[in-house]
Amino acid sequence: MTSRSVFERILDPSGRADPYPLFAELRKTPVARQEDGTYVVSTYREIVELLHDPRVSSDRRNLGSTAEAPDGAPSFIGLDPPEHDRLRRLAMRHFGPPHSPRIVDGLRPAILALTTELIDGIAGERRADVVDEVAYPLPVAVICRLLGVPQEDEPQFHAWADQIIETLGPGEEDRAERERERRAVGLKLEGYLAELAEARRGQPGEDMLSGFVTYRGPEGGMTPQEVVSTAVLLLIAGHETTINLIANGMLTLLRHPDRMERLRAEPGLIVPAVEELLRYEPPVQLVSSRVALDDIDIAGTTIPAGSPIVLALAAGSRDPAHVADPDRFDPFRARNEHLGFGGGVHYCFGAPLARLEAQIVLGELVRRLRNPRLVADPPPYRPSPVLRGPRHLLIGFDGVEPDGQPYTRKRE
Amino acid sequence: MKVVVDLTRCQGYGQCAFLAPDVFTMRQEALLYDLEPGDERREQVLRAAAACPVQAVHLDWTATWHAAEQPAPPARRNTDGRIVIVGASLAGARAAGVLRREGFTGSLTVIGGESHEPYDRPPLSKQVLTGQVPHDHTMLPHLREVDAEWLWGAQATALDVAGKRVRLADGREIGFDRVLLATGTRARPWPNEAEAALEGVHTLRTLEDAARLRQALAARPRRVLILGAGFTGSEIASVCRELDLEVTVVERGPAPLVSALGGVIGDVAAQMHREHGVDLRCDTTVTALEGDADGRLRGARLSDGSTVEAEVAVVALGSIRNVEWLRDSGLAAGVWGVACDAGCRAVDTNGLVTDDVFVAGDIARFPHPLYQYQFMTLEHWGNAVAQAEIAAHNMVSDQAHRWPHLSVPVFWSSQFGVNIKSVGVPTFADEVVITQGSTAERRFVAVYGYRGRVTAAVTFDQGLWLEFYQRLIERAAPFPPEFRHVDRRAGVGPVPARVPERLVATAGATVVVTGHDPAERRASLLHAPQS
Ligand SMILES: Cc1cc2nc3c(=O)[nH]c(=O)nc-3n(C[C@H](O)[C@H](O)[C@H](O)COP(=O)(O)OP(=O)(O)OC[C@H]3O[C@@H](n4cnc5c(N)ncnc54)[C@H](O)[C@@H]3O)c2cc1C
Ligand code: HEM
Ligand code: SF4
């Protein structure tokens, strides 16, 4: 036990329910070298510094060791500027500002309608699994809608996304093997998307996939391969993350009934509450994709060129040097700066969408569930230390309020 | 409800533009927004403010969910008595709030020469001129409740340091124990008074100026003439092109922005002007403005012998510091500003630091340790805010708890759809190197060096890297930077910076700045090893 580093203990699934004492331990060494040569960074300032440091690459092909040599170019989450920026801009063009600023805001009614349907689905029950019944179906449905994936294909999508996520994780020793697994599933998903994209090329619609295949600008457009890798990225990156935010959110609110009560009285407070959830129970706990391109002096340590770097976002967001009373869940915290969506050029692409989904779903659950309570605390967790969240979240309740559509009413 | 974005902090993540698209709009990384959105946008704006990753969106405290944040500060000396602030704009108003936040319980009087509440000036040459935002939608939000007596439309005419009184134009005298001078600058007018009085000749500093100029542009003149291609002149030229108005820019220097950013970036700016259809005349000056019989501007004569016909001219030749009222005060106040120490305490004509007179904002001339203790004035939004914080803190603190103003200057401008930012003092340089991106793509980071040390960085639509380069400046890191990093293009190396002449000081020691919060920031001297 003692021979294992704090970080190894964090990776161990048995501690998944409450990793925060270990993260506090980890912060005692802001930049901690692991036996395999990985550097784990756990304090807020240092993480923010590295997220904005041009000597830090997200492209694993820059790793000193050459154990893995993935074929084909990675999607933009695994690329550096200028390639990253070009692809991100090309994708953003069909998703957000400056070219499409209203798409996400415009999804509000659709997300609410989906949420209403899901909560109506448990109206007759007195017990439900928030993960399976609500959190799980929503993000895929939304991203499928955005991309233009037909509804009947959604279940297949789910399965692929799950399989891929199980293979993502830090640690270098079995990475190559997991990488192979991931590629096998990835190929199926890619094949499917390539076909769909090809169909859209002939008959473009309003969806993002159509935008990806048809747009050509001064900077060119996406190659067919880039269309597929970007679509896969959007699907994967927004899937389990959002599920976890909703599940972690419900769990946290149920653990703090007084704050849940206040939220019921003042529904607008769901906005700062979701920010606090991203800080307090972040769905992405670790970012394990970085590589030092040069020697980096930080917090009294030198990270040698070529070293893998892990940014422990979950530890940084609870750094007492950054935020007062960090282990307290305070949904009404002022000026809440957290690392929930990362930072720098790779700042979460889908953050506005994720926020909206979580605000609507959690807002509706709080509003509509009568006397909700946890059935088991802690709930069972998924094994991943990177994307951390409950596998199931069983709750009991005395009934469900009828749908009142407060969001659609309040829109201007 | 009122909104202001701290664009020195903003990193262009666009979360606000996603969540409140009716209020915030983005052009690549250039953010423009309505400072006073209607109440029907309240929810949108609250969502945007909550989501900003760097918490740069500030609202009226009454509109937020949280009561005024800060807990009561630890007891300090000097928290009672009478404080007077002269100048009620960005620096003065911010200082008033900070004084209360820092626990000042005495009487507070703010003397504002203008007839309305403090407003934000940067939008005046941007979203107000395009018509995107009405000119009166520029009032600054109240970040907290401030108990103070605000005297609007009151001009201070004299400061009696020994007698501790401020005299007003109407003859009133207001006593103080400590005073903050924050009277800023005004636009430098066209020197020929008769020509300056022609109808159609404008300057741009105040809300009223902006309203007049907006009206003139909305009338769609056949051509607009802009005198001076500094930041303000360039931004106005950009607005004219956006409104599809013909515009001629006359600049004495070899390119736009040269006096602030040097010739390398100046060349890029010149290309931007021309690509957007600006008729840019460099190395040229206007020798006379010409009117018709009715006293309306008709055009101008230029130093190269040519003439330009224009119905509107904007004189954008820099600013004049509002120091005349301090003439007999015994302070070191002149065209250069009001000299002060790094703690914002004014210096008298003998060069001695005063104890009860503080200075902040565009008029303050202070020594910066990172730049060889040279005295500098910075006419930047971020500097006004930072200095107001430091001055207000020091006004209620004893000697042992005073903070030095060591923040590295940060500036932004948006023009031709590009967000330009700088950190450090770009004119303090002998060489420049493009480290990331490329000038041809209009997305790049340029790093400035002076005698082998990094002194500044300028970004075009790459603002989120600036913090990294700021740390290099603070650490006096070697120039040119030699490390491996992302987005490094082949074949680039340092080139001469081509900055305007400045005093060349002898380099003996290097100063580095450490610490993040104002309370912990310190400068220290690193002496070269003696040989
Ligand atoms: C058009 C424009 C665009 C700008 N754009 C940018 C930008 O993009 N980025 C950036 O960083 N900065 C920008 N700035 C600069 C920024 O606005 C200033 O740095 C800032 O306003 C300085 O604040 P201040 O309070 O020191 O001075 P000021 O804002 O000048 O305020 C001084 C106040 O004192 C009053 N006053 C003067 N004399 C007296 C007296 N004797 N008695 C009483 N009151 C008096 C004045 O009327 C005025 O209200 C811009 C400025 C302008 C004009
Ligand atoms: C609560 C939900 C979410 C969380 C917590 C989250 C978190 C994150 C984090 C921490 C990163 C940074 C990764 C890195 O730095 O390497 C990231 C990147 C990314 N996210 Fe999210 N995400 C969420 C939802 C979404 C959604 C819904 C989408 C898609 C619509 C999405 C798409 C992306 C993409 C494409 C990237 C890569 C960005 C880049 O490399 O430029 N995410 N996300
Ligand atoms: S950093 Fe904040 S203010 Fe700037 S664009 Fe992003 S969300 Fe808006």
pLDDT digits (tens, 9 = 90+) for A333-349: 988 999 999 999 999 99
Q: Provide the number of structural domains found in chain B.
A: 2
Kindly state the helix (H) or strand (E) to which residue A252 belongs, with its residue range: helix A240-255
Res A404 pLDDT > 80: no
A303 touches chain B (CB under 8 A): no
Q: Is the CB of B138 under 6 A from ligand 1?
A: no
Measured CA to CA, the distance from residue B427 to residue B456 in angstroms comes to: 8
Tell how strand A308-311 and strand A287-292 pair up.
antiparallel
* Res B399: pLDDT: 85
Q: Which residue do the tokens 């104002």 mark?
A: B518
Q: Is the CB of B111 under 6 A from ligand 1?
A: yes
Nearest CA distance, B286 vs chain A (angstrom) = 38
Measured N-to-C along each axis, helices A257-265 and A240-255 cross at an angle, to the nearest 10 degrees, of: 100
CB contact under 8 A, B18 and A101: yes
B475 touches chain A (CB under 8 A): no
Domain boundary among B283, B317, B351: B317
Domain boundary among B285, B301, B317: B317
Domain that holds residue B432: 417-500
pLDDT in tens, B433-486: 999 999 999 999 999 999 999 999 999 999 999 999 999 999 999 999 999 999
Domain membership of residue B471 (yes or no) is yes
Question: Which of B15, B18, B433, B434 is the best mutation test for A, with the most CBs of A within 10 A?
Answer: B18
For residue B69, what is the nearest residue in chain A, using CA coordinates? A334
Tell how strand A287-292 and strand A56-57 pair up.
antiparallel
Domain membership of residue B264 (yes or no) is yes
Ligand 2, atom nearest to A234 Cα:
29
Q: Is the CB of B367 under 6 A from ligand 3?
A: no
Give SS3 for A324: coil
Enumerate residues 6+ apart whose C-beta is below 8 A from B429. Answer: B262, B448, B449, B450, B455, B456, B497, B499
Q: If pLDDT is split at 50, 70 and 90, which confidence band does A412 have?
A: very low
Q: If pLDDT is split at 50, 70 and 90, which confidence band does A397 have?
A: very high
> Averaged over B176-186, what is the pLDDT?
98
Of the candidates A245, A289, A286, which has an alpha carbon nearest to the alpha carbon of residue A385?
A286
Measured CA to CA, the distance from residue A101 to residue B352 in angstroms comes to: 55
Domain membership of residue B432 (yes or no) is yes
- Which is higher by pLDDT, B485 or A178? B485
Q: What letter would DSSP give residue A220?
A: B
Within A148-239, residue ranges assigned H as helices are 154-166, 175-202, 208-214, 224-237
Q: Is the CB of A239 under 6 A from ligand 2?
A: no
pLDDT in tens, A54-83: 999 999 899 865 555 555 678 999 999 999
CB contact under 8 A, A97 and B47: no
* Mutate-to-test residue for ligand 2 from A348, A360, A384, A386, highest number of ligand atoms within 8 A of CB: A348
Domain membership of residue B358 (yes or no) is no
Q: Which of A80, A343, A410 sits opposite B53 (nearest CB)?
A: A343
Q: Are B432 and B494 in contact (CB under 8 A)?
A: yes
Nearest CA distance, A105 vs chain B (angstrom) = 6
Question: Ligand 3: which residue has its CA nearest to atom 6?
Answer: B13
Nearest CA distance, B494 vs chain A (angstrom) = 18
Ligand 3, atom nearest to B26 Cα:
5
A343 touches chain B (CB under 8 A): yes
Q: Are A121 and B45 in contact (CB under 8 A)?
A: no
Question: Ligand 1: which residue has its CA nearest to atom 16?
Answer: B381
* Res B59: pLDDT: 93
For residue A89, what is the nearest residue in chain B, using CA coordinates? B28
Question: Ligand 2: which residue has its CA nearest to atom 9?
Answer: A341
> In chain B, which residues have their Cβ closer than 8 Å to the Cβ of A333?
66
Q: Are A54 and B436 in contact (CB under 8 A)?
A: yes
Domain membership of residue B465 (yes or no) is yes
Percentage of residues in chain B with pLDDT exceeding 70? 95
Of the candidates A345, A88, A95, which has an alpha carbon nearest to the alpha carbon of residue B459?
A345
Domain membership of residue B251 (yes or no) is yes
Domain membership of residue B274 (yes or no) is yes
Q: Are B125 and B204 in contact (CB under 8 A)?
A: yes
Res B530 pLDDT > 50: no
Say whether both B309 and B424 belong to one domain: no
Q: Which residue do the tokens 């404008």 mark?
A: B202
- Which is higher by pLDDT, A145 or A409? A145
- Amino acid at the residue B63: A
CB contact under 8 A, B17 and A332: no
Q: Is the CB of B120 under 6 A from ligand 1?
A: no
Tell me which of A179-183, B68-72, B136-140, B305-309 is least confident: B68-72
Q: Is the peptide bond before B480 cis (omega within 30 degrees of 0)?
A: yes
Pull the structure tokens for residue A333. Answer: 């915290």
ipTM associated with this complex: 0.92
Q: If pLDDT is split at 50, 70 and 90, which confidence band does A119 have?
A: very high
Q: Using alpha carbons, list the distances in angstroms from residue A156 to A32, A160, A161, A192.
A: 41, 6, 9, 10
* Res A67: pLDDT: 52
* Mutate-to-test residue for ligand 3 from B52, B55, B465, highest number of ligand atoms within 8 A of CB: B52
Residue B334, Cα to own-chain centre: how many angstroms?
Answer: 20
Q: If pLDDT is split at 50, 70 and 90, which confidence band does B415 have?
A: very high
Domain boundary among B286, B317, B348: B317
Q: Are A379 and B43 in contact (CB under 8 A)?
A: no
Structural Rg of chain B based on CA atoms? 23
* Res B505: pLDDT: 45
Question: Ligand 2: which residue has its CA nearest to atom 4?
Answer: A241
Res A12 pLDDT > 90: yes
Kindly state the helix (H) or strand (E) to which residue A114 belongs, with its residue range: helix A108-121
Res A407 pLDDT > 90: no
Q: Which of A52, A57, A96 sits opposite B465 (nearest CB)?
A: A52
Per the document, the length of chain A is: 412
Give the distance (Å) from ligand 2 centre to CA of residue B17. Answer: 18
pLDDT in tens, B383-406: 999 999 999 999 999 888 899 999
Q: Is the CB of A233 under 6 A from ligand 2?
A: yes
Res A175 pLDDT > 80: no
Q: Are B180 and B82 in contact (CB under 8 A)?
A: no
Q: Mean pLDDT, chain A, as a whole number?
A: 91
pLDDT in tens, A122-153: 999 999 999 999 998 899 889 989 999 888 89
B484 touches chain A (CB under 8 A): yes
Q: Mean pLDDT, chain B, as a whole number?
A: 93
Delineate the domains of chain A, giving CATH numbers in brackets.
6-394 (1.10.630.10)
Q: If pLDDT is split at 50, 70 and 90, which confidence band does A261 have?
A: very high
Sign of CA dihedral B352, B358, B361, B362: negative
A85 touches chain B (CB under 8 A): yes
Give the distance (Å) from ligand 2 centre to CA of residue A217. Answer: 25
Domain membership of residue B423 (yes or no) is yes
CATH number for the domain including B464? Answer: 3.30.390.30
Measured CA to CA, the distance from residue A287 to residue B483 in angstroms comes to: 23
Say whether both B197 and B306 belong to one domain: yes
Pull the structure tokens for residue A4. Answer: 């294992």
* Res B464: pLDDT: 94
* Res A177: pLDDT: 81
Q: Is the CB of B299 under 6 A from ligand 1?
A: no
